[in-house]
Amino acid sequence: MSTITLRDVATRCGVSTATVSAVVNGAEWVSEETRARVQRAVEEMGYRPNQFARSLRTQQGYAVGVIVSDLTNPFFTEVVRSLSHALREDGRAIFLCDSDHRFEVGETNLRMLFDGHIAGLVLIGDSVREETLRRYLRRGPSLPTVAIEREYGLDDVSCLLVDSERGAFDATWHLLGQGYQRIGMIGGPEQGPGSTTYARTLRLQGYRRALEEAGVRYDPALVAEGNFRYAGGEEAMRRLLAGRERPDAVFAANDMMALGAMSVIRNAGLRVPADVAIVGFDDIPIAALSSPALTTVGMPKTELGRSAATLLMQQLDGARPAAPRRVLDAELVVRQSSTRWTATPV
């Protein structure tokens, strides 16, 4: 089915394309008779304005730019899906970019989006350095901006966060409650000198706080750096198993690394959770389908996406959000990978 154009509508009505454009854009100079005839043709023919082309002509953004840390991670995919659906209800589309957990790629994404006259910006995860974002936001008129799972100390950026520190505490505390003592952690990556990812920092803090409150000594040899990906979880787990004393449980800072760690444990001839228990973070769909099913910390993924869209729409309407910084709860989801007393080891 071919796309209906302004010219098609103009030909049917016997008017110029400029007249059709004027009617579509609400110009007042068109006569009521002509306006009614054009509007009827628009409805009958199913004409839809090309909003993207219009934004390029007027230099006014139509789409929302979105930069994500890692599109291969199902957590981010679910957040983007929720965000996209909510924005579509408002008649907007998204330009989606993947920074691959690399700040230099995030800055390239940011430059491309700003050059494309976006209407607003959503940053998900650690995609862009704070100083880089500050520099771009100062380039012109204020751009509505929302950050998800990354806190920026910028007055004109709304932040949607999850209480990851408490979630990591709950995950570690659960393992302690199951009787595990040598609890390791697979954390997120460094991003260059003096820079760590937001999730890595908070989840490490929660892990250490739980150990401290339980009177268990923190052992840095039990903490291995990962990259929030399956292969990163595998490599980190190999390092932990090769240590001078094997951990009896591991908290991984996200589910993808937890699943990678489980694979290495099984390949080493060990059982989950009988020999090494595992807890992840995010509660991606596959977590419940793994064998054994993965205990994890559930993130409010749908709410994050929809809330980000709401904050952005408020700013686009000229309103300052009532709560520019909002923290949502994470919830521990206990399954078989960590329940020493009830699980059947595999």
Give 140-164 pLDDT, tens digit per residue: 778 899 999 998 988 889 999 999 9
Task: Tokens for 86, please give them.
Answer: 């909510």
Half-sphere exposure of 105 (CA within 13 A, CB side): 13
Question: Residue 171: its pLDDT value, please?
Answer: 98
Contact criterion met (CB below 8 Å) for 82 and 306? yes
Model pLDDT, residue 1: 45
- The residues, any chain, with a CB within 8 Å of residue 218's CB and separated by 6 or more, are 208, 211, 212
Superfamily for domain range 164-299:
Response regulator (3.40.50.2300)
> What residues does 282 pair with on adjacent strands?
298
Residue type, 151: E
What is the rounded distance in angstroms from the CA atom of residue 81 to the CA atom of residue 8?
34
Question: In the CATH hierarchy, which top-level class contains the domain 61-162+300-329?
Answer: alpha beta
User: For residue 327, what pLDDT is reported?
Assistant: 94
Q: How far is CA 115 from the centre of its chain?
A: 23
3-state secondary structure of 77: helix
Q: State residue 49's pLDDT score.
A: 63
Separation CA 74–CA 298 (nearest Å): 13
Q: Distance from first CA to last CA of the chain, Å, rounded?
A: 54
- Using DSSP, state whether 297 is helix, strand or coil: strand
Could you give the count of Cα atoms lying within 13 Å of 107 in the half-sphere of its Cβ? 10
Between vectors from CA 126 to CA 124 and to CA 132, what angle results, nearest 5°? 100
CA angle, 39 then 44 then 47, to 5°: 70
pLDDT < 70 stretches in the chain: 1-3, 25-28, 48-61, 191-197, 322-323, 341-346
Q: Who's near 277: CB < 8 A, 6+ residues apart? A: 175, 178, 180, 248, 249, 250, 295, 337, 338, 340
Question: What is the CATH T-level fold of the domain 6-49, as seen in this structure?
Answer: 434 Repressor (Amino-terminal Domain) (1.10.260)
Q: Chain centroid to CA 337: how far? A: 25
Residue 245 is encoded by which pair of tokens? 């004393």
Contacts of 107 (CB under 8 A, 6+ apart): 128, 129, 132
pLDDT at 51: 53
Per-domain residue ranges of the chain: 6-49, 61-162+300-329, 164-299
Please indicate whether the domains covering 6-49 and 61-162+300-329 agree at the CATH topology level: no
